[in-house]
Chains A and B, each alone.
Chain A
Amino acid sequence: MQKKAVRYTVSEIAKLGKDNIPAELLSGQGLVYSSPATLAYNSPGAEGFGVKRAGLAVPESVMLIVSPGCCGRNTSIVSSMPQYKDRFFYLMMDETDLVTGRHLKRIPDAVSEVVSFLDKNGKKPKVVMICITCVDALLGTDMERVCSACERALDDGTRVRPCYMYALTREGRRPPMVHVRQTLYSLLEPMEKDPRSVNIIGNFAPLEEGELQKMLFDAGVKNIRQISTCGTYEEFLKMASANFNIVTNPEARAAALDMSNRLGIPYIELTRVHDVDRNALQYRSFANAVGIKADVSAEEVKAQEAVGSLKDAFPDLVFNIGECLNADPFELALSLVRYGFGVDEIYATLSPEKFKYISKLAEISPDTKVFCNMDPTMLYYDVSSSPADISLGKDAAFYCPEIPNIAWNSDVQPFGFQGITALMNEINRTMKEVRA
C-alpha cells in the first residue's frame, strides 16, 4: 500500500477530458474525507455560511430545527455568537417520530411556544424558518403544508418558511445552498418598482464597497440593497421594488430566476475574476447591457499596479491554492499563472464546468497538480515535496503548515478590481513580512 494522496496534473486531467474526470477528483464518487474544506461545507460552524446561518440572513427571523439531535449538535458554535443569541430552537425527533411522522403534528405547537417565549422577552420574530434534514427528505414531508398550518396557528402575520438542510442532495439540481437562497427571497411580495433601486444577491454577507457600487451610484441608482445590509424585515421586503438584480454567486441564480418570474425583476450575472483585463471586459459588457456609462479606469489602473508591484517584488512566487477562499481556485490559479507566477498545487473538487480553466492551465502550467479535498487518501497528504512559497485559502494552511498563508475567506466579499488589488497587496505585504 502506497499511503500517498492521489493527485493528477492539469495536463493529465485535460487529456482525459471533461467527460472522463478521474473519480478521485469528483464529489459523490467515493467515501469522503473530512478535510477542512469538506468540514467547511458539511459543518460550517462559526465560519462561512451553511444552511443554518444562511437561513437566518433575513432580519428579525428565528429558526426552529426539527430533526434528530445529531443534526443540530454543532449549532452551539453559532449560537454562541452574539448575533445568533435566542435565534435557534430545536424540536428533537425520536425513533417513533421517524416511523409515524407524528412530529409534524407537533410543529405548529412548537412554533407557537417559541414565538410566545420570544414575545415575553420582547423579541417577537417576523419570520420563523423551520429547518428540516435528511430524515424528512426521505419521508417526503410536505413542509409547505406544515408551514401554512403554523401560520394559521399563529394567526398574527408571522411568516413561517421551510429551510431544507438536505446533505443528500449536494450534487443535485437544487443543492441546499441553492435552495436556501430561493427560500429567503420567496418571502418577498410583489410591490411597485423603483427604477433607482438595485439588489445585489449572491452571498449572505455584503459585497465590499467598491467600484461596482460606485458605477451604479454614478448611473443614478439611489438604493443598492443586499440581504445582509437590511437592518429590518421591512427594509428586506423593499428588495421586491428593485429595477434589476445583480447576481454575484451562481448559487443565487435559481433565486434570481424565481424573482424574475414572480416579481418581474430581471437579473444579470457578474463573475468574480482575478484577471484585470477580463474584469474590465466584464464591466464594459455589464454597462452596455444595463444601459449605463461606466468609468472605472482608476480602479483598473490600481489593480494593474498592484499586480505589477507584486511581480516586481517577487517575480518567481509559487502558490498552493485551496478552496476555502473567496475565489474560484481554478480561475485564481489561471490568473496567477497568466501574471507570470507559479501554481504548484490546487486542493479543490473538480467538476466539468471547471474545464474552461483546466484546459487553459494545461497549456501554460501543465505540471500544476490537483488534489481533491474529499478523497480518502488526503489522509496521507504530505506537503514536504511542494516548492510553494505561500498558500491561499484557509484549508491550504492545513496542508501547508510550514509556509505563510492568506486565508482570504472573510464573510465580507471582495469583488472586481478592488478584490484583485486587495489580494495582490495582501500577498505582497505577507511575503515582505516573511522575507524581511
Chain B
Amino acid sequence: MKGLRKVLTPFAPDQSGAVSVLYSLGGMTVIIDAGGCTGNICGFDEPRWHDVRSAVFSAGLRDMDAILGRDKLLVSKIANACERIDASFVALIGTPVPATIATDYKALKRMIEKETSIPVLAIPTDGMQLYDEGEARAYKALFETFSMEGGSLEKIVLGKTPLTFGNGFEDNTLDDYKNIGEKTKITAASASGIEAAKLLGRPYEIFSSIAADMAGSIPSGKVLVCHDEVFGKTLRDKGVDCDIVAFFTLHDEIKEAGDRKITEEDEFTELVLKGGYDVIVADECLKPLAEGFNGKWIDAPFFALSGRR
C-alpha cells in the first residue's frame, strides 16, 4: 500500500532539513509547533544540539492558538524572546500545524520584523516533504534575505549537513554566505546543495568527498547505490559503474539510464530482486528489504534514512 511502512521508519522531514542549514548561523529558529516537532529535531535529527547550543525554540502552540489563529500571540512570544536572546535573524519553520490552519507566513514575517526590527526568514515547510526539500527552502530564504554580492570568499560547500553526512558535516557561518562573490568556488555536496548553487546562479561542481574516499573500496561488478544523488554521482565519476536509486531528489543533470527515484519500500525490494546487482552500497537499515540478495553489501550510513551517524 502506498505510504505504508512496515520495515523502515520515516525519513528526516523538511523541517529538520531547514533547521540543519540554519543551525550554526547565529539566528533564532522558531519551529511553529506544539513541541513534538522541535523534540524530533533537537532530540534526534540535530546531532549538534548536545554539543553546541543554538537558539532553536518551539513556538509552544496550544490547541486554541491554532484553532483561533492567534498570530499576535506568536509575534508577542517571539518579540519577548528577542529581548532576552541575542539573534542576528529570526527563522520561522513550518510544521503540519501551520499547514493545517493555512498560516500566512508573509504576514507573520512582516509583523515580527515590524515588532523586532530583526530580519525574518519564513520557511513554509510542513513535515510531509523530505529533508532535502527543507534544506533547499532554507537556502532560498537565506539568499533572499541577505545580500550575496561582491564578497571575497574563496570557496564554500553547500548541502554538507549532518542529515546527509552524519558526523562528516561541514558548517558554514552567516558571514560565509554574505561573502560569496564572483570568484567563490561553489561545491554542491548533496541534492540540496545543487538547489542552493542553482539559486546563486553561478557555476558549481557536484562532489562528495565522503563518497570519493569510499570509491576505491567498492569491488567491480554491477553496483546499486542508494544514498544521496551526489554521493552516487561522485562514485560514478570515480569510476564505479553504478545505478543510482534515490528516496530523495534525483536531478535530471545527474540522472542516467538505470537511475531511479523511488518512494516505497516495495520499490526498493523489486529493484534489488530484478536488477541482478553484485554490490549494493547503501545504509544497512535497508537490508531487511533485500531478502534474497546474495551479493556484497557495503554499508554507507545515511542519517536521513536510518538515523545512524
Chain A residues near B (Cβ < 8 Å): 1-3, 6, 28-34, 38-39, 41-43, 45, 67-77, 79, 88-95, 98, 106, 109-110, 113-114, 117, 133-135, 137-139, 165-172, 374, 376-377, 379
Contacts and interface: CB of A to CB of B under 8 A. Distances in A.
A98 B1 contact: no
Nearest to A75: B9
Given A31-B57, A34-B49, A168-B97, A138 B43 contact: no
B10 A169 contact: no
B85 A376 contact: yes
A174 B200 CA distance: 49
Interface in B112-161: 126-128, 130
Interface of B: 1, 3-6, 9-16, 30, 33-40, 42-45, 49, 53, 55-63, 66-67, 77-78, 80-81, 83-86, 95-97, 99-101, 126-128, 130, 306-307
Contacts of B62: 28, 168-172
Closest 8 CB pairs of A and B: A42-B39, A43-B39, A43-B43, A70-B127, A167-B34, A69-B10, A70-B13, A34-B42
Given A39-B42, A74-B39, A168-B62, A94 B3 contact: yes
Q: Which of B5, B15, B37, B84 has the most CB of A within 10 A?
A: B84
A122 B210 CA distance: 42
B152 to A, nearest CB: 31
Given A31-B30, A42-B43, A168-B66, A379 B53 contact: yes
A69 B58 contact: no
A30 B79 CA distance: 10
A141 B6 CA distance: 24
A32 B38 contact: yes
29 contacts: A1-B86, A2-B84, A32-B60, A34-B42, A39-B39, A41-B35, A43-B40, A43-B42, A69-B13, A70-B15, A70-B37, A71-B36, A72-B9, A72-B10, A73-B16, A74-B43, A74-B44, A76-B9, A89-B6, A91-B3, A91-B5, A94-B128, A95-B126, A98-B96, A113-B4, A113-B6, A135-B96, A138-B100, A377-B85
Given A32-B60, A42-B35, A172-B63, A76 B307 contact: yes
Given A42-B36, A90-B5, A379-B53, A28 B60 contact: yes
